[in-house]
Amino acid sequence: MSESAEEPGRDREVLKIVALLAALVLALIFYFLWLGRIAVALLTSGEVAATALGIGVMILPLLGVWMVVSTIRSALDHQRLARRIHDEGLELDTADLPRRPSGRIERDAADDLFRSVQKEWEADPDNWRVSYRLARAYDCAGDRSRARDTMRRAVELEKREREAGA
């Protein structure tokens, strides 16, 4: 199937995901406002125990807002890198790798992919493109923690490159 024929279906999928995320963020905003209102009521009650509890309840929406904002920022950063990698034709090709019935890449194939990308990274560890590819290879191999750490590094390296070019 041609790329242009796949785009409308992909656009609908992206729109569904964005709509779901928007609905979840709105629900969280409502929840944070509700918790904030409870916290203010506790803080203004005049009782020591209620005031202490109010401080604790006030922390929850603040932490929640921080988590939502940082998650959205990370997602946008990752999407920017994915778009650039796609535009440059440097995406990892996993289409022909053997898969389990669940859709996950078989362990041996994922490990082979990881080893080949790791060699690229060892040759040029300060290149955000190679770090991005390594993060994706970690993800394919099932190492989510290292994938996140490496993706953070790729985002930072790409940001430095953009700032140096500006």
Span 28-64, pLDDT tens digits: 889 989 998 999 999 999 899 999 999 999 898 888 8
pLDDT of residue 32: 87
Choice between 153 and 72, residue whose per-residue pLDDT is larger:
153
pLDDT band at 83 (very low <50, low <70, confident <90, very high): very high
Terminal Cα distance for the chain, rounded:
39
Encoded tokens for 142: 């099932």
166 pLDDT above the threshold of 80: no
Report the predicted TM-score, pTM, of the whole model to 2 decimal places. Answer: 0.72
Distance CA 59, CA 39 (A): 9
152 pLDDT above the threshold of 90: yes
pLDDT of residue 138: 93
Provide mean pLDDT across the span 116-145.
Answer: 93
pLDDT of residue 70: 92
